[in-house]
Structure 1
Amino acid sequence: MVSWLRSPWLLALLLLTALRLLAAALLPLSPDEAYYWVWSRDLQPGYLDHPPMVALWIAAGTALAGDNALGIRLLAPLGVMLASLALAGAGNALLPRERPGVWAAALLNAMPVINAGAVLMTPDTPLFVFWCLALWAVGRLHAAADGRWWLAVGALAGCALLSKYTAALFGAGLVCWLVAEPTARRWWRDWRLYAGGAAAAALFLPVVTWNAAHGWASFAKQGGRAGAGEGFTLRFLGELAAGQLGLASPVLLLLCATGAALAGLAWWRRADAGAGLLAALTLPAAALFLWQATGSRVQGNWPAILYPAACIAAAAFTARRWQRIGAWLGLGLTFLVVLQAGFAPLPLRRGSDPTLARLGGWAGLARDVEAARIAAGASFVAAEEYGLAAELALALPPGVPVVAIGDRWSLFSLPSPPPGQKGLMLRSLRRGEGPSLWPGAVPAAEAVRARGGVEAERYRLLQVETPAGTEPMAMLPRPR
C-alpha cells in the first residue's frame, strides 16, 4: 500500500488536482456555472435543462467554501481525481493481461475537454465522474464474477442519470454487451442484475415525477435535440470532427478511435469479454452521434462520455510511444487554453477565443452596470438571458436585487419582484433589436463587456418597471 501511495502517477494526479483547484478558484465563472449556482439555491428534483445532480454538487461545494468560484467548482477537481482512480482500476480489471489502467488515466487527464470538466462545474462533470465509477463497478463485476456488483453498477448509473440524460447511453452499451457477449449472458438469469436496474430507476424516479408535474418540460426540451433533423448535410459532421480534434486533441482522438476499433476486433477474434465491454460502451454511441450529426448539431461536449472506455482501449492496444506524444500534446493544449483564459496574452477576438466569449470581463461589466443603475435611480437590475442574469446575481454588490425574466423561471420557486419598482435591464445586442420580453422597456444607454481591451459582448441598457406583463419573473438569490 505504501509503495502504491508513493507511485509517480498518483503523485502526478495529486499535483494536477491541486493545480485544478487553483484554476477553479482564479478563473471567472461562466454564465452556465452561474445559472447552475441559482439551481443550488432552489433545490428541486428536476429543472428545465437537466436533472439536479449539478445543483447538489454546487450546494455541497458552496456549503464548504462559500458562494464564490472555488465553492461552486470545488467538487469538480476532486470528483475527476476520484474518476481517474476508478478508471485505472476499471482498465486493469477488464484487461488483466494488458493492465492499461495507469496509462488510460494518464491519457484521459491529458485531454483538454476532461481538464475543462475538472475545473468548470457543469452537468457534464458529475456525469463523467459517475460514468467512470459505474465503469469501475462493471470492471469489478467482470473480474470477480460476483453478482453483488450489479447493485453498485445500478446505483452509480442511477447517479449518472441524475446528472444528465445522456447517461442512458451507458445502460444501452451495457445491454448490448450482455446480449452479444456469450460469457455475460448468464447474468440475465441472476436477480441481482434486475435489482441493479431497479436501483437506477429508483434514483431517477424523482426526475420523472418532477417532469410529470411540470408538463414533461425537461424531457420535451432535451428530447427535441435527439434525431438527425430534417435533411442530410455534411456541415454538422465537419463541426463534430473539428470540435473533437480540439477538445480531445488530435493525437489522443486518433488513439481513442483506433483503440476502440481494436477493442472490437479483439472481442471478435479472441472473444475478449473485457475488450468487448469497452467496444460496446464506445462504438454504438459514437455511431449514434455521427448519425445525428448528419442532420443536426452535436454539441462538442456530448461525446466526452465515450473517452473513459476509449482511453482504456487506447492504452491497451496502441503504441506507447504515440500515447506519450498524445499525452504531452494534450497537456500542452490544455496549458495554452488555461493561460489564455486566465491572462489573455493573445488579443484574440470573440470568434477565435471561446474563453473570452464565456469567461471574460464579467467583473468589469458588473461595475459599469452598478454605476449606471445608481445614475438612473433604479432599484434593481434585470436581464432576459438566464446566464447573464445569474452572472449579475453573483457579481453585483450585496443588496442589489437582480430580476430574471422568461418562461423558464415559472419552473422555479423563487419570489417575484414587488410591483411599482424601477429597474435597469441588460439586453445583449447579439439578440438583435427586436421586441423585448419586458413591455415598455425604454432604451437608456449601452454597456460593454471586455477583457484586456478586447470586446466580448455589447449590451443595451433599458429602463423598466415592474410588473413586466405576462412573462414570468424571478428575484434571483444573492451570495450569502
Structure 2
Amino acid sequence: MIYRVFIVHGILAVLKIVYTLLNITDLSTEEAQYWVWSKNLDIGYYSKPPLIAYMNFISTSIFGDTELGVRINAIFIGFAIGILVFVFVREIFKDEKLAFFSSVLITAVPAFQVGSYIFLTDSPLAFFWILTIYLFYRAVNEKKPVLWVLTGVSAGLGFLSKFLIVLFLPPALLFLYLFKREIFRERWFYFSVLIASLFTVPVIIWNFQHDFVTFKHVFNLGEAKKEISLSKSAEYIGNYIASQIGLNSVFLFPFFFYAVYRGFKERKNFRIFYLWIFPVFIFLVFLYIARKKNVEANWPAFGYATLYILTAYYIYMKKWFKGFIFAFVLSIWSIFTLFYPFYLDKIGLGKIYPPKVDPLHRLVGWEGLGKKVSEVVKDLKTDKYFVFSESYHIASELWFYMEGNPRTYCVVINRRMNQFDLWPGIEQFEGKGYTGIYVSRWGLPKKIRDSFRKVKAHYRYDIIYRGWKYRTINIYVLEDLIKLKQDRFRSY
C-alpha cells in the first residue's frame, strides 16, 4: 500500500516543481529573507533559529539561486509528511487502508499544500512536529533507547526550525500523566529531553553574543496590549477562528469539528486522546493569545497534523465516504483556485475572486523590480554604489532578484529591528563618493535625503497583478553619501 502513497505525493511534488518552473509567482518576502540568511551562515539569527538557512544553503548549492532552489525544500518536506502520515497511522491503528486514506486526506488541506510549496520556517517545523509525535508514541509504547534518542533529535531539529516546537511538551506530559505514568520513572525519557535541550545551545550562545535580541523579538511578538476593548477582542478572536477554518478548508471543516467533538467524547481511549490533545492544545494556546492581539493564520498551522489523522479515522470508521468525496473535490478545487486564479479571469468570473483578496498578489512583481533596479545600476557606469531600503522585505527581494545577487542594505526609518541590523551597514560607504539606490514603497525620507549630497534621479515601478495596480515602488538615485542619518529602532 505504501507505494500508492509514494505515487500520490510524488505526483503532487512533480506538479509543484513544474508550477515553480513556470515562474507564475516570485519568492515571498520571507522566503527571500531566509535565502539571504543562507548567504550569511551563522548559528543563530535575529528572529528564527538557523535550520532554514542551512537547508537553503544546501538546496541552492545544488539547484542554484533560483525559486526552485529555495522551494524544493518545502516540496520535499510535503512529500515526506505524506509518507510519514501513512507510517504513523499504520503504526497506531494497524490498518494500511486507513493509513493510505489519511495520507490522501491531507492533500485537500490548503495549509498542507501552501506549506509544501512556500518555504518558510513553518515547513520544517510541521515535519519535525509530526515526526516527534510519531517517535514519542513509539518510544512510550516500545521503550527502546534508540527511539528515545531519535525523539530527542527530532524535537531538537524542530527547535532549530522554529521555537514553537516547545509547545509539544505540555500535551505530551499530560498524555503521560493520564495514561503512561510509568514513563516518568524511565531514565531514557529524561535522556531524550536532554538530547533535545542540547540543540538549544547554539541559539543561546548566539543570543548571548547579540544581546539576546531573539528573546526580545519573540517577547515583543507575543506581548499583548494591556488594555483592549471587548469589541476589539471579539474581532481578534473572530478573525483567528475564521482564518483557521479557511486555512484548513471550509469544506472539510464539518469533519474536523466532528473529530474534535468525538475525540473529546472518547478521550479515555489513549490512542484517540493522543491524536486529539496536540491540535486542541495548539488551537487553544493561540485562541488565548488572540484575546488581545492579532494572530497570524499560519502560526498554529504546524500543529494540526494529528487532527487530520483523527478526522480520517472517524470518516473511515463511519464510512462517510460519499459526503467526504464531495467536500474533498470542492476543497481541491479551492486549492487549485488559490494557486491558479487566472482561469477565473479567462472565463469572465474574476470578480468573484478579485485580485485584492487573492494572496498571490503578494508573490508577484519582485523579479521585475529586480530587473528594473539592475537597469538603473547599469546606467550609473560605476562600481561605487549600493542598494538599500528601509524594508527588509524589499532589501531581501532585491538581493535575490537583482543581476549578480549584490548585497543589499536596510536602514532604520520608522521600523523595528531586523537581521540586516546585525550585519555591516552602509556606514562603511560614508565619505567615499558612493552612490546609493534607495528603493521604497513610500517617498524619500528627509533623513535619507540629507545623508546624500544630491538626488540624481527618481523612477517608479508599478506592480500589476491580474490587471490591478497592486503597488508602486519608488527608486531614488542618490549621489555621494556624506553621513548616514537614520532613526532608532521602534521596537524589537
Whether the 8 Å contact between 2:2 and 2:86 is mirrored in structure 1 is no
State the partner residue of 1:368: 372
**Whole-angstrom distance in 1 between the partners of 2:287 and 2:137:** 27
Deviation at residue 467 of structure 1 after TM alignment: 5.8
State the partner residue of 2:250: 250
Whether the 8 Å contact between 2:388 and 2:395 is mirrored in structure 1 is yes
State the partner residue of 1:320: 321
Q: Residues 329 and 401 of structure 1: is their aligned pair in 2 closer, same or farther, counting only changes over 3 Å?
A: same
State the partner residue of 1:301: 298
1:412 alignment partner, one of 420, 423, 427: 423
Partner-residue secondary structure (3-state), 1:56 = helix
What is the 5 A alignment of 1:17-56?
17-25=13-21, 26=23, 27-56=25-54
**Whole-angstrom distance in 2 between the partners of 1:399 and 1:152:** 39
1:10 alignment partner, one of 6, 9, 12: 6
Q: Residues 85 and 403 of structure 1: is their aligned pair in 2 closer, same or farther, counting only changes over 3 Å?
A: same
Q: Residues 362 and 399 of structure 1: is their aligned pair in 2 closer, same or farther, counting only changes over 3 Å?
A: closer
Residue identity matched to 2:274 = L
TM-score by length of 2: 0.85
State the partner residue of 1:279: 276
State the partner residue of 1:403: 409
Q: Which moved more, 1:339-348 or 1:17-26?
A: 339-348
Deviation at residue 333 of structure 1 after TM alignment: 1.3
Residue identity matched to 2:471 = E
Residue identity matched to 2:202 = P
Q: Which moved more, 1:32-41 or 1:96-105?
A: 96-105
**Whole-angstrom distance in 2 between the partners of 1:169 and 1:341:** 39
Deviation at residue 380 of structure 1 after TM alignment: 3.2
Residue identity matched to 1:235 = E
Q: Residues 243 and 437 of structure 1: is their aligned pair in 2 closer, same or farther, counting only changes over 3 Å?
A: farther
Is 1:424 equivalent to 2:437 in the alignment?
A: yes
Deviation at residue 453 of structure 1 after TM alignment: 4.0
Partner-residue secondary structure (3-state), 2:340 = helix
Is 1:86 equivalent to 2:84 in the alignment?
A: yes
Deviation at residue 371 of structure 1 after TM alignment: 3.4
2:128 alignment partner, one of 124, 127, 130: 130
State the partner residue of 1:225: 221
Deviation at residue 251 of structure 1 after TM alignment: 2.6
Partner-residue secondary structure (3-state), 1:166 = helix
Aligned length: 460
State the partner residue of 2:391: 385
State the partner residue of 2:163: 165
Deviations 1:8-41 (A, max 9, x none): x431111111112222333321111111101001
Deviation at residue 381 of structure 1 after TM alignment: 2.5
Q: Residues 194 and 437 of structure 1: is their aligned pair in 2 closer, same or farther, counting only changes over 3 Å?
A: farther
Whether the 8 Å contact between 2:36 and 2:400 is mirrored in structure 1 is no
**Whole-angstrom distance in 2 between the partners of 1:263 and 1:438:** 61
Residue identity matched to 1:29 = L
**Whole-angstrom distance in 1 between the partners of 2:91 and 2:345:** 43
Q: Residues 146 and 338 of structure 1: is their aligned pair in 2 closer, same or farther, counting only changes over 3 Å?
A: same
Q: Residues 421 and 344 of structure 1: is their aligned pair in 2 closer, same or farther, counting only changes over 3 Å?
A: farther
Q: Residues 243 and 22 of structure 1: is their aligned pair in 2 closer, same or farther, counting only changes over 3 Å?
A: same
Deviation at residue 202 of structure 1 after TM alignment: 0.4
State the partner residue of 1:337: 338
State the partner residue of 1:477: none
Deviations 1:252-291 (A, max 9, x none): 2332232133223212xxx311111112212122111111
Q: Residues 366 and 94 of structure 1: is their aligned pair in 2 closer, same or farther, counting only changes over 3 Å?
A: same
**Whole-angstrom distance in 2 between the partners of 1:216 and 1:295:** 25
Structure 2 gaps, min length 5: 488-492
Is 1:351 equivalent to 2:362 in the alignment?
A: no
**Whole-angstrom distance in 1 between the partners of 2:327 and 2:141:** 29
Q: Residues 201 and 321 of structure 1: is their aligned pair in 2 closer, same or farther, counting only changes over 3 Å?
A: farther
Identity over the aligned pairs, expressed in percent?
A: 22
Residue identity matched to 2:389 = A
Partner-residue secondary structure (3-state), 2:144 = coil
